[in-house]
Amino acid sequence: MIRSIPAAAVTRAVAELCVKANRELPPDIVQALKQAAREEPWPTAQGTLSVLVENLSAARERCLPICQDTGLACVFIQLGQDVHIEGDLARAVDQGVRQGYEEGYLRKSVVADPLRRGNTGDNTPAALTVDLVPGDRLRLTVVPKGFGSENMSALKMLKPADGVEGVRRFVLDTVRAAGSNPCPPIILGVGIGGTFDKVALLAKHALLRPIDRPHPDPYYAALERELLEAVNGLGIGPQGFGGRTTALGVNIETMPTHVAGLPVAVNVSCHVTRRASVEI
Amino acid sequence: MEWKLTSPVDKKALAPLRAGDRVLLSGPVYTARDAAHKRLTELLDRGEPLPFPLEGSVIYYVGPTPEAPGQGIGSAGPTTSGRMDAYSPRLLDLGQPVMIGKGLRNRAVQEAIVRNGAVYLAAMGGAGALMGGCVRSARLVCWEDLGCEAVRLLEVEDLPLVVAIDSQGGNIYESGPAAYLNSLKGDN
């Protein structure tokens, strides 16, 4: 049976998710931030983390975006194969971004051309990723991505001989080079495997998973813990002013790759790692 | 140490500030980020007057969110300052005493800070809702076509900041992490 979903329903959902994601962090991130504020041993860092927690309440109470960089709207759709969209899906998503960013008093941060610039004025287009999945449901996730952290992301085609040690070195080098720029405490999405293009998408997908849910494979769950500990040994600390809490979480996603390759990508995200989902 | 600072700023008031000190800033503050800095530089290249004076002025690297009805401004936290490194030394040499942003600066900016007795203050990255609450009023100065990057004049009250680079070249992004890592050695 084919199930029909009007494009207007997608537009409405995207608009609401844009506003929600920008005002309220997901529970796993809030929890991690509060826990870090309790456990941070360095006094100035502890103070900084408390201010960040306070900012979350201020945003909620005053209906303000948590951060003024309300991001480029990354939209992920898991589209059931038995769904028929009545209308143009990509246009419906852009229309949702347009409405959400206007209604929510969110900042319009998109330029029409990477070199010639020029603000599009409505935060469109979205960065849309569609995955076909079995079933007749449509799952929408909106991830408004700020560029203070996006700019610090990096990708490298390692050699197979570099192995897990090479991955560890690249992740730490990326975080060290980012320093205070991506508004630590950060969250890292790490992609390993695939191809040049797929590994970047893996890293972004890794940021969609709650940071309190480890990788299902114990090998990678252990690597996530180990990388988090190593990053928090660098001393960068909240805002780069020094301290233990440089990162709140490290998520890894992997896929098979070529015999000759070991692609790795690190998508850096700040403490305002936003995501909101709905199923239609 | 915690200091109260008012703008327009007299550089004499900046001399005692040290990296890591807290500052509460009140008074007028101009917003300018990437595109506005490019235009300021183009005006200087052509020998034309700037839309606001550099002498005494505080420039805040921020692109606030639009204000809802009844709000002075939306969220207003800092953007990454490093993208302004290409422009800042020239503006500092022309008298700009204070920059507000977040994150690392390059050597040229650090040297221009010391040469001119200026300071670089860090605002709390990602705490836009709180910082927006310190803005009493905002009005457009110029370049509305730049949208969130337009130059605005904000009137701020007790905007909480940290001295990131002081007029002697002290730098919290170096000294802060070093002090923390040193404290761990003491534990062992």
Q: Does A47 contact B at CB distance below 8 Å? A: no
Q: What are phi and psi of B146, to 5 degrees?
A: -80, 0
B188 has pLDDT over 70: no
User: Nearest to residue A181, comparing CAs of B80, B101, B111?
Assistant: B80
What chain B residue is nearest to A66 in terms of C-alpha separation? B129
DSSP element (H, E) containing A9: helix A7-23
Give the per-residue pLDDT at B185.
87
Residues of B with a catalytic annotation lie at 37
Q: Give B35-99 as a DSSP string.
A: HHHHHHHHHHHTTPPPSS--TT-EEE---PPPPPTT-S-S--PPPBGGGGTTTHHHHHHTT--EE
Q: What is the pLDDT of residues B130-153, one digit of tens each?
A: 999 999 999 999 999 998 899 999
Instruction: Please report residues of A whose CB lies closer than 8 A to that of B64.
Output: 68, 107
Going from N- to C-terminal start, the domains of chain A cover 3-22+66-145, 148-276
* Beta-carbon separation of A235 and B180 below 8 A: yes
User: Nearest to residue A44, comparing CAs of B164, B106, B15, B80?
Assistant: B164
DSSP element (H, E) containing A166: helix A163-178
Instruction: Please report residues of B whose CB lies closer than 8 A to that of A242.
Output: 172, 175-181
Give the per-residue pLDDT at B70.
82
Q: What is the pLDDT of residues A27-72, one digit of tens each?
A: 999 999 999 999 999 999 999 999 999 999 999 998 999 999 999 9
Q: Does B56 contact A at CB distance below 8 Å? A: no
CB-CB neighbours of B111 under 10 Å: 13
β-strands A186-194, A127-133: how paired?
Answer: unpaired
Q: What are phi and psi of B49, to 5 degrees?
A: -70, 150
Give chain B's domain count.
1
The share of chain A scoring above pLDDT 90, in percent, equals: 99
Give the per-residue pLDDT at B187.
60
Q: Name, in order, each residue with C-beta under 8 angstroms of A88's C-beta and a sequence gap of 6 or more.
A: A7
Mutate one of B21, B42, B65, B143 to test the A interface: name it (highest A CB count within 10 A): B65
- Structure confidence at residue B13 as a pLDDT band (50, 70, 90): very high
- Structure confidence at residue B163 as a pLDDT band (50, 70, 90): very high
Confirm if A32 and A56 have CB atoms less than 8 A apart. Answer: no
Amino acid at B79: T
A237 has pLDDT over 60: yes
Give the per-residue pLDDT at A23.
95
User: Nearest to residue B120, comparing CAs of B134, B133, B131, B104?
Assistant: B104
Residue A21, both tokens: 């994601």
A158 has pLDDT over 60: yes
Average of per-residue pLDDT across A260-265: 98
Q: Give the B window 147-186 contacts with A, CB below 8 Å.
A: 147-149, 160, 162, 172-173, 175-181, 183
- Structure confidence at residue B69 as a pLDDT band (50, 70, 90): confident
* Beta-carbon separation of A240 and B64 below 8 A: no
Radius of gyration of chain B (CA): 16
* ipTM attached to this prediction: 0.90
The CATH number for B64's domain is 3.20.130.10
The share of chain A scoring above pLDDT 70, in percent, equals: 100
Mean pLDDT, chain A, whole residue set: 97
CB half-sphere exposure, A189, CA atoms < 13 A: 23
* Beta-carbon separation of B180 and A243 below 8 A: yes
Q: Give A95-121 as a DSSP string.
A: HHHHHHHHHTT-----BSSTTT--B-S
- Structure confidence at residue B39 as a pLDDT band (50, 70, 90): very high
CA distance B30 to B81: 15
The share of chain B scoring above pLDDT 90, in percent, equals: 93
Torsion of CA B166, B79, A30, A179, to 10 degrees: -60
Q: Residue B96: give the domain boundaries.
A: 2-187
Residue A176, both tokens: 């060290």
Give the per-residue pLDDT at B72.
82
Residue A160, both tokens: 């197979």
Q: What is the pLDDT of residues A98-120, one digit of tens each?
A: 999 999 999 999 999 999 999 99
Instruction: Please report residues of A whose CB lies closer than 8 A to that of B179.
Output: 242
